[in-house]
Amino acid sequence: MKGLTQKQQEILDFIDQFMRREGMAPTVYEIADYFDIKSATAFAHLRALQRKGYVTRSSKARSLTLVRADHPKHMSLTLSIPLLGRISAGMPLLAEEHIENTIHFDPTMLPKGAGGHPLFALTVFGDSMRDQGILDGDTVIAKQVPTANIGDLVVALVDNETTVKSLYFRDDMAELRPANPDYESQFYPLDRVSIQGVVIALHRTL
């Protein structure tokens, strides 16, 4: 069977989880609503999953069926999330040039509201976020969004360098605040800081 794109994997996982929870398959409209995409886009993803042999469906409502013989249980319980390397300004965040590897993550560990946004992973270097439980070498999971709220833990791009810090504002400046007293906050004009995503989970390999 052919490989899946990240979105196709997410939709396949959603279908499996929905069927386990509700005892029936989701409709195209429910899939579109969960991922905040158009129903035509959801339908196109389902057609792709059919072509690749992961699902079957008919014209009847809720007729989706997982081809479980080729859909091992462990696949339905994990998300495939791209692990990014160096992020460059001016390039799409999930461009192929940025992706170093893929990690598999339990979707039940994600907070509510994470659906509908592309996810990416990033390895943290250094101990500047130590007091928030993020250690050197840890991998953070972030949802790709261009804005964030005050206090959010963000992946920010500043002068072509990526950093993970808490976001605050002071005197029309963006404050990127560490969680370690050995480090000081960094302040930048707003137009020098590009929010790449908001951190929603931590992945640590022991």
What's the CA gap between 103 and 121, in Å, rounded? 8
Q: Which helix (H) or strand (E) holds 1?
A: none
Catalytic pick from 76, 80, 143, 165? 165
Pairing between β-strand 99-105 and β-strand 119-123 as defined by DSSP bridges: unpaired
End-to-end alpha-carbon separation of the chain, Å?
32
Pairing between β-strand 119-123 and β-strand 79-84 as defined by DSSP bridges: parallel
Positions of E strands within 33-138: 55-56, 65-66, 79-84, 99-105, 119-123
What's the CA gap between 177 and 183, in Å, rounded? 9
Catalytic pick from 76, 128, 166, 194? 128
Please confirm, yes or no, whether 143 is among the known catalytic residues.
no
Please confirm, yes or no, whether 166 is among the known catalytic residues.
no
Token pair, residue 6, equals 């990240």
Task: Please list the active-site residues.
Answer: 128, 165
